[in-house]
């Protein structure tokens, strides 16, 4: 069953709690939280304070995507604030194995992310240690960008490795996911679809979520 993880980056921050409740009742399974530091990516967004504020608003797992330098320094803060999954970029972590173990030591699930230009081989050796693999299908930094199609081969390869190695992490995709691109992702092997603008730019969020799910069938 495909899961939808709406990215609150495209929500109305003046009524964030209400926005989250709306997608929760509309069939979302994770709340995707995009954390940007203005260094790893050219944008600044959410810190642990916001994670802490939205935690009581929803029963859904908070899927925290760290697009920051020195992720190790902030993992504890996001875990304490209420993250359920914390994902770090391979490109931002010199000692990725240590970073993944650090996430797990805080009691939350650990994910690894790769940018569109990063070869999938870069995360091959960490696969047995992660709960989630996030394949970026846009260059991280902003919502509303176009899906980069040549990332699909990486989803397929990760799904193949998962089967060959009998692992059971989830495969998530992030960026440019909409009614047109969703099925490409799920056909390639994705389990979780992050969708920001495709959900929050629609008046009826429940309908938007159902439309994306329907498009994968
Ligand atoms: C991009 C973020 C995404 C983004 C997705 O840097 O990681 O989660 O919000 O937005 P859409 O779905 O609009 O491409
Ligand atoms: Zn994201």
Q: Is 35 helix (H, G, I), strand (E, B) or coil?
A: strand
Whether ipTM tops 0.95, in short, is: yes
The domain total for the chain is 1
Arithmetic mean of pLDDT, 9-23: 98
Q: Where are the beta strands (DSSP E) in 68-185?
A: 85-89, 109-114, 132-136, 170-174
Pocket test for ligand 1, best of 91, 143, 182 (most atoms within 8 A of CB): 143
State yes or no: 176 annotated in a binding site.
yes
Q: How far is the CA of 9 from the centre of ligand 1 (A)?
A: 7
Range of the domain at 16: 3-215
Query: In the chain, how long is the greatest CA-to-CA distance?
Result: 46
Give CA separation, 156 vs 146, 160, 190, 193, in Å. 20, 6, 8, 15
State yes or no: 17 annotated in a binding site.
no
Arithmetic mean of pLDDT, 139-155: 98
Arithmetic mean of pLDDT, 3-26: 98
Cα separation of 6 and 16, whole Å?
Answer: 12
Q: Which residue has the least CA distance to atom 7 on ligand 1? A: 140
From first CA to last CA, the distance across the chain in angstroms is: 10
Domain containing residue 97: CATH number: 3.20.20.70
Task: Give the per-residue pLDDT at 109.
Answer: 98
State yes or no: 197 annotated in a binding site.
yes
Question: What is the tens place of the pLDDT at every residue in 186-214?
Answer: 999 999 999 999 999 999 999 999 999 99
Question: What is the tens place of the pLDDT at every residue in 66-110?
Answer: 999 999 999 999 999 999 999 999 999 999 999 999 999 999 999
pTM of the full predicted structure? 0.98
Q: How far is the CA of 63 from the centre of ligand 1 (A)?
A: 13
Task: Give the per-residue pLDDT at 153.
Answer: 98
Task: Give the per-residue pLDDT at 116.
Answer: 98
To which H or E segment does residue 164 belong? helix 152-164
């Amino acid at each position: 069953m495909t899961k939808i993880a709406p990215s609150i980056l495209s929500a109305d921050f003046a009524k964030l709690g209400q926005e989250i409740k709306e997608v929760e009742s509309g069939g979302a399974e994770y709340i995707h939280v995009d954390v940007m530091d203005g260094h790893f990516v050219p944008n600044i967004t959410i810190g642990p304070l916001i994670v802490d504020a939205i935690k009581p608003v929803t029963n859904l797992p908070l899927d925290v995507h760290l697009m920051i330098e020195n992720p190790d320094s902030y993992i504890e803060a996001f875990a304490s604030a209420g993250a359920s999954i914390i994902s770090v970029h391979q490109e931002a972590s010199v000692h990725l194995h240590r970073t993944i173990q650090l996430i797990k030591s805080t009691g939350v699930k650990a994910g690894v992310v790769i940018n569109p230009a990063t070869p999938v081989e870069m995360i091959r050796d960490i696969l047995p240690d992660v709960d989630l693999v996030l394949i970026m299908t846009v260059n991280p930094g902003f919502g509303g960008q176009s899906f980069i199609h040549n990332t699909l081969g990486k989803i397929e390869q990760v799904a193949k490795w998962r089967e060959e190695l009998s692992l059971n992490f989830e495969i998530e995709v992030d960026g440019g996911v909409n009614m047109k691109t969703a099925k490409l992702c799920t056909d390639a092997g994705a389990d979780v679809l992050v969708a920001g603008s495709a959900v929050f730019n629609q008046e009826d969020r429940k309908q938007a979520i159902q439309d994306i799910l329907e498009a994968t069938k």
